[in-house]
Amino acid sequence: MRKTILLLAVCFSILGVAADAQTKQPRTVREFFNLLPQKYFTLEGCQPSKDKNCERARREYIETFLEVEDAANGFWKSGCDGAQSCLTMALFKRPNQTYVVAVQTEFEMGSENYFLEYKNGKWFDISSQIIPQFSKNNFYELPQKGTTVGVFKKNAVDDGITEKGEKLYDLLWENGKFVRQN
């Protein structure tokens, strides 16, 4: 009977570790990059039917385009070319030890910003919930050091092309949320 109880305890322990590994929250900017879905950052050359989670395409992208991986500051910057978008990511740590993942993609016609949450294996766009007056018409400049996000107006240049315009204000990261500073 004792052997059976001990065996059951070991089995439940192993199952618990396996379940934790599947729902483990990412902690580094590279771990978040490796989980980032195509919806927020398209990896050119990824064929999901042949490349699970675009792992091969991610490795090739890193080898070709990675410029800055600052793990200590939770910052990532990688370049681009004509077809492949550029990517900048910054992590903002909440008091409960979870993260807001700021993502900026830049491409030939302009840029897009997302403020995301990764929870229970799923991504959620929380931009309008966490950014006061969030607008797709703004450019959010992500910091490598510190936690202040510069907010700039997007200017229409020509035929749908936009570029960073005048500075509007700063967003300060305080106690797990962004606060507007004029």
Q: Domains of the chain: which residue ranges?
A: 25-181
Round to whole Å and give the CA distance between 1 and 94.
47
For residues 15 and 23, the answer to whether their CB atoms sit within 8 Å is no
Round to whole Å and give the CA distance between 21 and 25.
9
Q: What is the mean pLDDT of the chain?
A: 87
Give pLDDT, residue 19: 40
Is the per-residue pLDDT at 14 higher than 70? no
Give pLDDT, residue 159: 74
For residues 76 and 87, the answer to whether their CB atoms sit within 8 Å is yes
Q: Tell me the longest C-alpha to C-alpha distance in the chain.
A: 78
Task: Quickly state the pLDDT bin for 15 (edges 50, 70, 90).
Answer: very low
Task: Quickly state the pLDDT bin for 163 (edges 50, 70, 90).
Answer: confident
Residue whose tokens read 């949320």: 177
Question: Angle at Cα 31 formed by Cα 57 and Cα 129, nearest 5°?
Answer: 105
Is the per-residue pLDDT at 7 higher than 70? no
Q: If you average pLDDT over residues 49-57, what whole number do you get?
A: 89
Give pLDDT, residue 6: 40
Give pLDDT, residue 23: 59
- What phi and psi values does residue 33 have, to the nearest 5 degrees? -60, -45
Round to whole Å and give the CA distance between 53 and 76.
19
Give pLDDT, residue 8: 38
Round to whole Å and give the CA distance between 177 and 147.
11
